[in-house]
Structure 1
Amino acid sequence: MSLRHALLGLLEDGPASGYDLTARFERSLQKYVWTGRQSHIYPELKRLADGDLIAVTEEGPRGRRTYAITDAGRAELRDWLLSPPGPRAIRDEHVLRMSLLSVLDLPQARELVLHHLEEADQVTVELRALADAADSEAHPRGRLRFGRLAIEYGVHQYQAQQRWAHWALEQLDRAETADPHERQPSET
Structure 2
Amino acid sequence: MSLTQALLGLLAVEPASGYDLTKEFERDLGRYAWQAGHTSVYPELVRMAERGLVEVTQEGPRGRRTYSVTAEGREELRKWLLAPWGQGVVRNEQVLRMFLLEALEPEEAATALRGVVEYAERGANALRAHREHREVEPPEGRDVLGQLAAEYGLRQFQAMRDWALWALDHLNQRRKD
**TM-score after normalising by structure 2:** 0.84
Per-residue deviation, 1:16: 1.3
Give, as a single letter, the amino acid of the residue that structure 1 aligns with 2:162.
R
Query: Can you list the C-alpha shifts for 1:115-167, whole angstroms capped at 9, x where unaligned?
Result: 1111111122223334444545853338533x432332222111110000111
In structure 2, runs of 5+ residues without a counterpart are none
Per-residue deviation, 1:12: 1.6
Give, as a single letter, the amino acid of the residue that structure 1 aligns with 2:174.
A
Give, as a single letter, the amino acid of the residue that structure 2 aligns with 1:157.
Q
Aligned to 1:7: 7
Give, as a single letter, the amino acid of the residue that structure 1 aligns with 2:165.
H
Aligned to 1:97: 97
Contact kept, 8 Å, 1:10 with 1:21, in 2: the verdict is: yes
Aligned to 1:112: 112
Query: Can you list the C-alpha shifts for 1:35-75, whole angstroms capped at 9, x where unaligned?
Result: 32322211111122223322222222322212122333222
Contact kept, 8 Å, 1:131 with 1:152, in 2: the verdict is: no
Aligned to 2:149: 150
Q: Distance in 2 between matches of 1:25 and 1:141?
A: 18
Q: What is the DSSP-based 3-state SS (H/G/I as helix, E as strand, rest coil) of the residue aligned with 2:56?
A: strand
Aligned to 1:160: 159
**Closer, same or farther in 2 for the Cα pair 1:129/1:63, shift >3 Å?**
farther
In structure 1, runs of 5+ residues without a counterpart are 180-188
Q: Distance in 2 between matches of 1:133 and 1:38?
A: 28
- More helix, by proportion: 2
Aligned to 1:186: none
Q: Distance in 1 between matches of 2:130 and 2:42?
A: 26
Q: What is the DSSP-based 3-state SS (H/G/I as helix, E as strand, rest coil) of the residue aligned with 2:140?
A: coil
Q: Distance in 1 between matches of 2:24 and 2:142?
A: 18
**Closer, same or farther in 2 for the Cα pair 1:138/1:167, shift >3 Å?**
closer
Aligned to 1:43: 43
Aligned to 1:140: 140
CA RMSD of aligned residues (A): 2.4
Give, as a single letter, the amino acid of the residue that structure 1 aligns with 2:117.
L
Q: Distance in 1 between matches of 2:48 and 2:62?
A: 21
What's the % identity of the aligned pairs?
Answer: 47
Give, as a single letter, the amino acid of the residue that structure 2 aligns with 1:59.
E
Q: What is the DSSP-based 3-state SS (H/G/I as helix, E as strand, rest coil) of the residue aligned with 1:66?
A: strand
Q: What is the DSSP-based 3-state SS (H/G/I as helix, E as strand, rest coil) of the residue aligned with 2:163?
A: helix
After superposing on structure 2, the runs of 4+ consecutive aligned residues of structure 1 that deviate more than 3 Å are 83-86, 129-145
Give, as a single letter, the amino acid of the residue that structure 1 aligns with 2:119.
E
Q: Distance in 2 between matches of 1:11 and 1:32?
A: 19
Aligned to 2:170: 171
Aligned to 1:77: 77
Per-residue deviation, 1:86: 6.3
